[in-house]
A and B are shown apart, each in its own frame.
Chain A
Amino acid sequence: MLADISLQDARATQWDVVIVGSSFAAIFFLYGLPAGLSVLVVEQGKVARHDELLFREPNPNEIVPVDNQAGREKGWVKSLVFGGNSNCWWGQTPRFHPSDFDVKSRFGIAEDWPVSYDDLQSSYGEVEQIMEIAGGGDTHILPRSGAYPYPPHTPSRSDAFLQQNDPLWVPGATARSNGGSRSTCCATGICHHCPIDAKFSILNAVDKFTRPGAFLLKETEAVRVVHDGGIATGLVVQSGGAEHVIMAQRVGLGANAIFNAAILLRSDFRSPAIGRYLHEQTSVEVEIDTPIQNFFGGTSITGLGYHFYHDFDRRDKAAVLMQNFNVPASIRPLKDRWTERLTVKLVAEDIPQPENRVVLDGRNPKIEWIGHHQYSYDGLAYAMDNLSAAFPTALEAVRIVHEPVTEAHIQGTTRMGDDPASSVIDRDLRLHEATNVWVLGAGAFPSCSPANPTLTLAALSLRASRALT
């Protein structure tokens, strides 16, 4: 575990790097820093053991008011505890598709990224090693230079059948263990509270990130960055109702895309894109009755379908990634055909819109939300209408059983780009307005992907700190 430090001692030190937050983005940035630096991690939440977090519903979740003009319920997940959302994620770790990085050039939507899939390849691979990812069989869609650290989980019977018949169905890469230092996943279906701690979390892997010279200042809120003339000199924190300054040569903001934006706004940085383009995926869960036997897979989600994503025209409708659930999944209430029901989640990309944004209400963040882009819903509708293209058997019934209000991904409020006029940070996650400030996490995403963001945001963080000299 990172060594604790008191506020008094933290204030008495001139730190090489101060990092805000302790979830994926922050801690993978820490991991890649050159040796020998003094590093302070500032976390607002407490440190809790895995068993203390189990079955707390909801997780300790910071509430942010939302001015929701969308006409649909909207939620966000912001876990306020050491390790952040790594404690309550599901462990889905697909890489982004190569086309996700240049959607504007290819399809005329959103923005291109200033980095490419190839730029991230080595960082992807390193994060997969650290997280002990289980996967395989998807190289024809997601190119990679080496094997996954661990083999994919046993497919469900439906995944085995689908993968045999269609190369666009592939095993799902996951941080739910199938070998390595953690317990092997046994398909409980309650991954957000994995009772056997089988999925990677910052908490259960913290020793990999512990290093000489790194300390944890917990239960302390980051308020704003102190800067002058384009150079950050420290961080203002709040503890015990009072503000204090911690001096730093470099600052990494890894709170999340809501609180990173709030910190930048409080710091009086001026980029017009700060706080804007908040987005995440939309999704529906469907039950599909079809003569394919299901179940008996090794983990909760055993397969991914790329039919509406790989080599897919995204000009006028969103790409959609399909997740085939082994558990939780429903039994078909039909004698002798109990397992002939698939539970599939369709996840669609969104187009980031400037009106969806984080603003300050006094000193606190507030979300202004006009809703997901119609493009995202059009992608879901297209996938629903064309589901039969993804299954070699007759679809006897298809029902939407759930429309989640969030995918628990907060993205886009500090977008990366080469142009300071339209972006907040550069390709190395450095703030255009102060290049010794790194703004980490999915806030950097200038476009959406239907794939889960964790592996990519961790790879971006690692790449950024590896580039630091």
Chain B
Amino acid sequence: MKQTRRSFLLRSGLLVVAAGGVYALSSGLRDWLQGQIQDDFGPEIAQSSETSAFLDDYLVFLGQDKGRSAQIASVYFRLKPAALPSLFGAESEIRRHMLQIFARSTTTIMAAETGAEFQYAGLFEPSLAPCQNQLAAIAV
């Protein structure tokens, strides 16, 4: 089929919009996650370089992980709102997933409870870096 100038421009435009959307929504996920951390642990922790490093690693992890929370995050934040109505309200699951890993990857609980220094010990992914659970006796 012959491609007209009009259809070429239309397709190109759609590609640009789609690429931009993915970028914007991925970026939106990071901001949203940071906002969740801020809601729970305050701006000082949320905006720290330690949290920034955590979010960098966590977003890479989400991209690699095939678990349900990762799938929901990638689908929900990119295709929202109309594509998958069954996923509406999935923020709570993503928030839960992220906070579980954040609490085990950083000293945020001890920092909040005792004023201990806030540190990021590396993403808690025990199959790759086993002994980094910051909610275990080894972290105290």
Contact = CB atoms under 8 A, between A and B. Distances in A.
B126 A296 contact: no
A336 interface: yes
B44 interface: no
Contact of B131 (A153, A188, A193, A335): A188
Contact of B137 (A55, A153, A196): A153
B99 A331 contact: yes
Nearest to B136: A187
Interface string B112-140: 10000000000000110011010111111
A296 B135 CA distance: 5
B95 A333 contact: yes
A335 B127 CA distance: 29
Given A188-B131, A333-B96, A296 B139 contact: yes
- By Cβ-Cβ distance, the 4 closest A-B pairs, closest first, are A187-B136, A188-B126, A186-B131, A154-B137
Contact of B133 (A186, A193, A338): A186
Chain B interface extent, by class? 20 to 34
Contact of B136 (A297, A333, A335, A338): A297
A335 B133 contact: no
Contacts of A187: 133, 135-138
| Residue from A186, A193, A298, A326 with most neighbouring chain B CB atoms (10 Å) | A186
A122 interface: no
A153 B140 CA distance: 14
| Residue from A187, A196, A327 with most neighbouring chain B CB atoms (10 Å) | A187
Contact of A186 (B100, B103, B136, B140): B136
B40 A195 contact: no
A186 B130 contact: yes
A195 B128 CA distance: 8
What is the interface of chain B mostly: helix, strand, loop, or mixed?
A: helix
Contacts of A54: 127
B100 A189 contact: no
Interface of B: 39-40, 92, 95-96, 99-100, 103-104, 109, 112, 126-127, 130-131, 133, 135-140
Interface string A31-65: 00000000000000000000000110000000000
A231 to B, nearest CB: 50
A206 interface: no
Contacts of A190: 126-127
Contacts of A153: 137
Interface in A288-347: 295-298, 326-327, 330-331, 333, 335-336, 338-339
Contact of B140 (A193, A296, A331): A296
Contacts of B103: 331, 338
Contacts of A154: 137
B130 A295 contact: no
A338 B109 contact: yes
Contact of A335 (B40, B92, B96): B40
Interface string A245-257: 0000000000000
Nearest to A154: B137
A140 to B, nearest CB: 25
Given A331-B99, A338-B40, A295 B135 contact: yes
A297 B140 CA distance: 10
Contact of A55 (B39, B104, B127, B138): B127
Contacts of B140: 296
B126 A298 contact: no
A134 to B, nearest CB: 13
A298 to B, nearest CB: 4
Contacts of B138: 186-187, 298
7 contacts: A187-B137, A196-B131, A298-B137, A331-B99, A335-B40, A336-B112, A338-B99
A331 B103 CA distance: 8
Contact of B109 (A188, A196, A330, A339): A339
B42 to A, nearest CB: 9
Contacts of A336: 112
